[in-house]
Amino acid sequence: MTLPEPDAEFLAHRGLSHTIAMDGPMTCVLLQDWILPQGLNVATADLLIRLQPGYPDLPPDMWWFAPALTLANGGVIQATEVTESHLGRTWQRWSRHFNPGQWRSGIDGLESYVALINRELVRCAASAA
Amino acid sequence: MTEAHPGGKKPKEFHIKIDRVEYHVVEEELTGAQLRQLPHPPIGPDRDLFEVIPGQADRKIDDTYVVEIVNGKRFFTAPAHINPGHEVADHT
């Protein structure tokens, strides 16, 4: 699968270190050394986003980090307890789901999804304060 | 966001983009709340507004934050929240 043009532009223009791979029907976008907010157990981790067939009309669902993230105080982050294997690696699954209609086809893409992930990271990290 | 200019001089116009749609504005500064009113329908509270800053992380624009408007400035919106799932019940 070729990424939609806005997604390819997003990755290129931001200079994000990434790889794209197929995993069955899923297109995997792996963002290396993603910078994390303070309040988590590590400063950077690899971020995996899996795009289902039908994307970008259909939204991504969940995302994955390696290594696994916890709060800096050791606390577990809600709905991240499951680990899965993708692309030959073990990943911590962040179980996060949109409400119907929340994803706007034709507008949303990797840019907005990554912004949402960052916001959720900040929200979780702040919960340890 | 256009205004009458009785002096007759055409105001400087700035071209900015929100969610890849171009808007023409004459203001040199706009608050986040004002930027949210540019699209039709306006951007609702269910979405966050971000400014793309080359070479830096995207900046979240709150309603009261004042943005300097320059030609080519780009903004985008994103869902404001997502629901944590249930580890046992949801799909794997």
* β-pair type (A83-86, B74-79): unpaired
Mean pLDDT of chain A: 95
C-alpha separations of A46 from A116, B15, B58 in Å: 16, 36, 19
Q: What tens-digit pLDDT sequence spans chain B (92 residues)?
A: 555 555 566 668 999 999 999 999 999 999 999 999 999 999 999 999 999 998 888 999 999 999 999 999 999 999 999 999 864 444 44
pLDDT score, position B4 = 53
Q: For chain A, give the percent of residues with pLDDT over 70.
A: 98
Q: Does the pLDDT of residue A51 top 80, yes or no?
A: yes
* Nearest beta carbon to residue B82 from set A6, A111, A120: A120
Determine the distance in angstroms separating the CA of A67 from the nearest CA of chain B, rounded to an integer.
19
Contacts of B77 in chain A (CB under 8 A): 107, 112
Contacts of A82 in chain B (CB under 8 A): 87, 92
CA dihedral over A17, A98, A66, A115, signed as positive or negative: positive
pLDDT in tens, A90-129: 999 999 999 999 999 999 999 999 999 999 999 999 987 6
A33-54 average pLDDT score = 97
Residue A42 has pLDDT above 50, yes or no: yes
Chain A nearest C-alpha distance from B81 (Å): 7
Residue tagged 């696994």 (tokens): A68
β-pairing verdict for B74-79 and B14-18: parallel
State the ipTM, two decimals. Answer: 0.90
User: Do B90 and A95 count as a contact with CB atoms less than 8 A apart?
Assistant: yes
Nearest Cβ partner of B78 from A82, A95, A116? A116
Q: Does B53 touch chain A (CB under 8 A)?
A: no
From chain A, the residues in CB contact with B90 under 8 A are 95, 97
